């Protein structure tokens, strides 16, 4: 089975207008999208489009013309100019836990028939339930890492301008996962954001252990986002942008995700 888990260390470090840093531990699923029905059958704690403690919904991700997350991401990368046949799509992501989902960012890695990386997509979510994909093509692949600088044009953090460049560095996950998505300024980096982790086998016991170690993890993520925002605004006194401001700088937002299932 290609699918697995990663225990993740997350670090954010803001350099201005005031410094602020936080770390926390989490975990993510690294899923072969073709294996989802098998994982559903094999593990009682994991559901594919059905109620379970850990639940993967196709509808929690990019929606175009299909109900299948794999078909939708393949349609998206074809729109970006990918012509090579894609055999395997891996997705590093959070899933619903006890019915609730929040994915600040998840990452698709697409491979050809020879298991060579073709492209990657970072799918970024915000607290308004919106999703925006960022495409990294084969020309950005170097040393097992997709590297690309792209302007954000999206409302993610209310404390950072909407048109800052984002520096994506997405290493193909193996025994370890190393992801960086930094916000840039003219003379350096405004925000460092890293995810580093070690691979764990996807088994019934590992799912049970992660359920005990990280109960209601997706709720914790959304709580921490609001907690750190409160610190930045009320303690650090950093001004913020309202979402209704600068609608022209919010581009190519595809959909709104329902965080809580019915």
Q: Tell me the helices (H) and strands (E) count for the chain, helix number first.
A: 4, 15
- Identify the pLDDT of residue 254: 87
Contacts of 196 (CB under 8 A, 6+ apart): 8, 9, 11, 176, 177, 178, 179
Rounded Cα–Cα distance for residues 110 and 242 (Å): 35
CA distances from 161 to 88, 112, 133, 183, 189 (A): 36, 37, 18, 10, 13
Ramachandran area for residue 217 (φ above 0: left; ψ -120 to 50: alpha; else beta): alpha
- Identify the pLDDT of residue 262: 57
Rounded Cα–Cα distance for residues 152 and 155 (Å): 8
- DSSP label of 174: S
| 193, pLDDT greater than 60 | yes
Per-residue pLDDT of 231-257, as tens digits, reads: 999 999 999 999 999 999 999 998 777
| 130, pLDDT greater than 80 | yes
- DSSP label of 98: T
Contacts of 3 (CB under 8 A, 6+ apart): 29, 30, 31, 32, 35, 39, 202
Rounded Cα–Cα distance for residues 9 and 122 (Å): 18
Confidence of residue 27 (pLDDT cuts 50, 70, 90): very high
Residue 69 phi, psi (nearest 5): -65, -35
DSSP H or E stretch at residue 74: helix 69-79
| 176, pLDDT greater than 80 | yes
Asked whether the beta carbons of 154 and 253 are under 8 A apart, the reply is: yes
Per-residue pLDDT of 205-230, as tens digits, reads: 999 999 999 989 999 999 999 999 99
**CA 229 to mean position of chain CA atoms:** 19
| 38, pLDDT greater than 80 | yes
Mean of pLDDT values over 103-111: 97
Mean of pLDDT values over 190-202: 97
Ramachandran area for residue 93 (φ above 0: left; ψ -120 to 50: alpha; else beta): beta
Single pTM value for the model: 0.96
Q: What is the mean pLDDT of the chain?
A: 95
Give domain limits for the chain: 4-256
């Amino acid at each position: 089975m290609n699918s697995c888990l990663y225990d993740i260390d997350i670090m954010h470090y803001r350099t201005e207008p005031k410094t602020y840093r936080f770390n926390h531990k989490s975990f993510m699923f690294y899923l072969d999208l073709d294996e989802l029905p098998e994982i559903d059958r094999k593990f009682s704690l994991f559901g594919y489009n059905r109620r379970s403690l850990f639940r993967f919904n196709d509808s929690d991700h990019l929606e175009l013309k299909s109900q299948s997350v794999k078909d939708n991401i393949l349609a998206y990368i074809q729109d970006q100019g990918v012509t090579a046949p894609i055999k395997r799509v891996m997705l590093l992501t959070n899933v619903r836990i006890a019915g609730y989902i929040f994915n600040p960012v998840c990452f698709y890695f697409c491979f050809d028939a020879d298991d060579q990386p073709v492209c990657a997509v970072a799918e970024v979510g915000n607290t308004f339930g919106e999703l925006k994909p960022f495409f990294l093509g084969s020309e950005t692949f170097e040393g097992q890492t997709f590297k690309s600088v792209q302007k954000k044009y999206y409302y993610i953090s209310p404390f950072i301008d909407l048109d800052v460049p984002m520096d994506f560095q997405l290493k193909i996950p193996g025994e370890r996962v190393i992801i960086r998505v930094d916000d840039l300024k003219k003379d350096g980096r405004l925000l460092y954001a890293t995810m580093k982790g070690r691979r764990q086998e996807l088994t019934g016991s590992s799912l049970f252990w992660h359920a005990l170690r990280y109960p209601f993890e997706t709720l914790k993520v959304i709580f921490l986002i609001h907690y750190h925002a409160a610190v930045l605004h009320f303690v650090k006194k950093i001004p913020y942008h309202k979402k209704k401001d600068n609608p022209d700088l919010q581009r190519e937002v595809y959909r709104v995700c329902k965080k809580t299932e019915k």
